[in-house]
Chain A
Amino acid sequence: MRKKAGFAALSGLLAALALTFSMLEGMLPPLPGMPPGAKLGLSNVVMMYAAGSLGLPWAMALAVIKGGFALLTRGVTAGAMSLSGGLLSTACAWAVLKKTRASFALTGMCGAMAHNAGQVLVAFWMMGPAVLGYGPVLILASLATGALTGAVLRVSLPQMERVSGFLVGKRP
């Protein structure tokens, strides 16, 4: 019983953390040197951790919550972009974390590229082929931001593990 409640608490905490990061990031000015529209993607750190610790279904549920929050606060376009990017990057992070021994940096990069791919797919569907021109710059940006989010995950992992260890016990 305690484990179930702890799992729910951990999921809620991670969802809140992901939403807070994505809101905070929205308040920051555009990063110098980054292509227009590209973001650091700090909430991907949380989504990657969720994919690794909660498992795929719960991490995907978190991505849906994040997309729903974007829909309510920033409109249909932002909601659809957040949902597609979030689902694809979470699935990608889960696959890389569970099926390979890839480094944290590569995991972050794959997650970032999948996030951008999901968003470009929605933009392509809404706007047509003109958006594909953003493809190469977004790939290059993903390599930089992904390495950074991977590093943040590496650094914050012991703390996150301590919290999840307290809530749901030792990880299997």
Chain B
Amino acid sequence: MERRLFNPREWSVLLIVALAAVIWLALSRSGPGGTRAIVERGGEIVLSRELEGLKAPETVEIEGENGVSLRVELSEEGARVSETNCADRTCQRTGLITRAGESAVCLPGRIVLWLEGPKTGRKLDAETY
């Protein structure tokens, strides 16, 4: 039997994979808004800034490893990498991140910009006495 380009019998498998990815994506985007921006370099926190109450966008220069530097822009809406000298620009192209747990990653510079959500305890699903 000749190997085909597409096989209709495989569509169910592909549908399940695509559906699982979409659900995963939707779940990761449905979290609470990020309230604190955190920048890690090589696993160490180098910046932690509360976003609520920021009157105007604030820019911070971050020096990464391997000569990579980034400019991080923080505002009440979220955080983004606005400029980088890294050739890949993956972190910059990620754009504005607004949800808790979302991140912009620069692998060559070993830098992660991510948002932390509201501290647990403030917004509980249920309380018992």
B14 with A103: CB separation less than 8 A: no
Tally of chain B residues near chain A (CB < 8 A): 35
Residue-wise interface mask of B (84-104) relative to A, using a CB-CB cutoff of 8 A (1 in contact, 0 not): 000011110110000001110
Total inter-chain residue pairs, C-beta < 8 Å: 92
Structural contact, B10 and A102, CB atoms closer than 8 A: yes
**What is the total number of residues of chain A having a CB less than 8 Å from a CB of chain B?**
32
Query: Which single residue of chain A is at the shortest CB-CB distance from B111?
Result: A127
Main secondary structure of the interface of A (DSSP, over half): helix
Residues of A that sit less than 8 Å from B by CB: 30, 36-37, 75, 77-78, 81, 101-106, 109, 113, 123, 126-128, 130-131, 133-137, 139-140, 143, 150-151, 154
Q: Which 3 A-B pairs have the closest CB atoms?
A: A136-B25, A36-B93, A139-B21
Can you give 6 contacting A-B residue pairs, CB < 8 Å? A36-B93, A75-B108, A103-B3, A103-B5, A126-B110, A133-B103
- Chain B positions within 8 Å of A, measured between CB atoms, are 1, 3-7, 10, 13-14, 17-18, 20-22, 24-25, 28, 40, 43, 66, 88-91, 93-94, 101-103, 105, 107-108, 110, 112, 114
